Amino acid sequence: MNKTKPHEKLQRTLGLWPILSLVVGGVIGSGIFLKPSLMASQLGSPEWLVAVWILGGIVTLFGALSNAEVAAMIPETGGQYVFFQKMYGDFVAFLYGWAAFAVFNTAGVASIAYVAGTYAEYYLSLPRFSSDVEQAFYLYIPFIGKIFPLQNIGVKGLTIAIVIILTYVNFRSTKSGGALQVIFTVVKIGAIVLLIAGIFSFGDGRISNLSMNAINAPQGWALVMAVVAALSGAFWGYDGWNNITFMAGEIHDPQRTIPKSLLFGLLTCMLIYTTISVAYLFVLDINSVAASSFVASDAAQLAMGGIGGGLIALLVIISGIGATNGNILATARVTFAMAQEQRFFRWTSVIHPTYQTPGNALTLHATWTCLLVLSGSFDMLTDMLIFVSWLFYGLSALGVFILRKKMPNAERPYRVWGYPFVPAIFIAITTFFLVVTLYSDINNYLQGNSEVINSLLGLSLVAWGIPLYFYFQHRYKV
């Protein structure tokens, strides 16, 4: 195994278009193709379904712009891990880096690739164990619930294959991974535009669908709880925007490229999500959206016939693969940055001598991602990672205030628009979201509506980072 050099760095090989495509391609993956069904069942209202996508986009943009100030000020590989060191010190930074590896980065890759595997069943009949076999073998985690590794084994097997192949591509070349991301993003956006145009041009839809609520649509406090639950789906749809901060040390002119990419990338995603949600509702009423397993394909099939459904299933698979590639390309950089500081397993800091990529970190991420794929369902993975990631997003926005006090004279090529209100609003909404989500998860588990308390599962994985922090402190005498 090659030894890492003390000051060995990754090269700045990525310009504006690869980074903009990393934002758009990393964000638009699976959320808009699977989550609308669950969100529609929670909300029972087409107006609220569209509103939640808009609200989720605005809140995410507030958080991204807050992070952009710090990313432009500290453009180093490792992104938020490095930011947390400056804001809160080594312990919180390590917990973030560990959580990124153990929960939201790897579970994010797992869940996005899972969608590509799920939509492949539109064409293929993937193998599956009987329900008795699936339920017979499970892992029980005290106070958290049961995990069923054999559930939906065919989809999980295909998902693992996607993760391994794309990891190999990025192992061989960062530049090839970035180029592949541009191609996937262009194809994806073009296909989504065709989907929207096809639905509105050929679909026998009804404008009345956009205002017709389900009979059992929640009201009052139940509606507030439903909106928070649906926001978890929307936040998942917008997740991935922070990937570019992990690669700040490999970006040309990061002080200008990062804020531009975040602003225009997220605005593009908001426009696409809002428009495609309206397109779904144009041809499917809110009850049909809620009942659909393949909402994008079902909407296209109604508008354009059987060939439309098949083409959109292919679009979702391409979109999922593209987003998986974008996340694999970026997320291993956090583990790599930690290891270079001797705060993680030292062998993950090695840069491959031929390919100049963080090959060992990529391999470790792929291995853990595949284990997470086996561990749970799509909704379990997304709910767990969103809760944990938004906990750290809130801390990151709070850190903008801390750095303004700790480093008042530091050069800030970009200052967050609307300071202090934009980051303060983001922190307040994030806190409310986390508290209500935790309450809802525990309540659903106690009522027998779920097998796992997803938020607590995510927090328990984060907690494993506490003894590991002291282990690495002692092991490497940091």
If you average pLDDT over residues 353-382, what whole number do you get? 87
Report, as an integer, the average pLDDT of 312-341: 82
pLDDT value of position 78? 66
With contact defined as beta carbons under 8 Å apart, do 451 and 377 qualify? Answer: no
Place 5 in a pLDDT band, splitting at 50, 70 and 90.
very low
Domain of residue 58, CATH code:
1.20.1740.10
Average pLDDT over residues 64-81: 81
User: Is a pLDDT exceeding 90 seen at residue 404?
Assistant: yes
Q: Over pLDDT 70: what percentage of the chain? A: 91
Taking alpha carbons only, the member of 169, 154, 219 closest to residue 357 is 169
Range of the domain at 48: 26-476
Give the C-alpha separation, 345 to 336, whole Å.
9
Tell whether 404 is covered by a domain: yes
Residue 100 in domain: yes
More confident residue, 33 or 397: 397
Residue 322 domain-assigned (yes or no): yes
Looking at mean pLDDT, say which of 202-206, 365-369, 474-478 comes out highest: 365-369
- Picking from 4-18, 41-55, 136-150, which range would have the lowest pLDDT averaged per residue? 4-18
Distance CA 159, CA 180 (A): 19
C-alpha span between 210 and 268 (Å, rounded): 22
Q: Quick check: is 238 in a domain? A: yes
pLDDT given at position 391: 95
How many Å apart are CA 227 and CA 103, to the nearest integer? 24
- Please give the pLDDT value at position 29: 65
Give a yes or no: residue 15 inside a domain.
Answer: no
pLDDT grade for 369, boundaries at 50, 70 and 90? very high
Whether 428 is in a domain gets the answer yes
Average pLDDT taken over every residue of the chain: 85
Could you tell me the maximum CA-CA distance found in the chain, to the nearest angstrom?
68
Residue 7 pLDDT greater than 50, yes or no: no
- Kindly give the pairing relationship between strand 139-141 and strand 145-147: antiparallel
Q: Is 465 helix (H, G, I), strand (E, B) or coil?
A: helix
Predicted confidence at residue 360, as pLDDT, reads 92
Residues 188-219: pLDDT tens digits?
777 788 878 888 887 778 888 988 999 889 99
**245 — pLDDT class (breaks 50, 70, 90):** low
Residue type, 460: S
Given a cut of 60, whether residue 86 has pLDDT beyond it is yes
Q: Residue 10: name the closest of 260, 347, 334, 344 by CA.
A: 334
Q: How confident is the model at residue 359 (pLDDT cuts 50, 70, 90)?
A: confident
Stretch among 164-173, 279-288, 362-371 having the lowest mean pLDDT: 164-173
Residue 359 lies in a domain: yes
d(CA 180, CA 348): 24
Secondary structure element (H or E) that encloses residue 146, with its range: strand 145-147
> What was the pLDDT predicted at 250?
66
Q: Is residue 296 domain-resident? A: yes
| CA separation for the pair 280, 274 (Å, rounded) | 10
Burial class (CB in 10 A: 0-12, 13-18, 19+), 344: buried
Q: How many domains does the chain have?
A: 1
Cβ atoms 390, 432 nearer than 8 A: no
Whole-angstrom CA distances from 214 to 39, 194, 464 are: 13, 29, 43
Q: Contact 323/112 with Cβ under 8 angstroms? A: yes
Of 365 and 184, the structure prediction assigns the larger pLDDT to 365
Answer whether 0.75 is exceeded by the pTM: yes
Amino acid (1-letter code) at residue 195: L
pLDDT, average across residues 91-113: 90
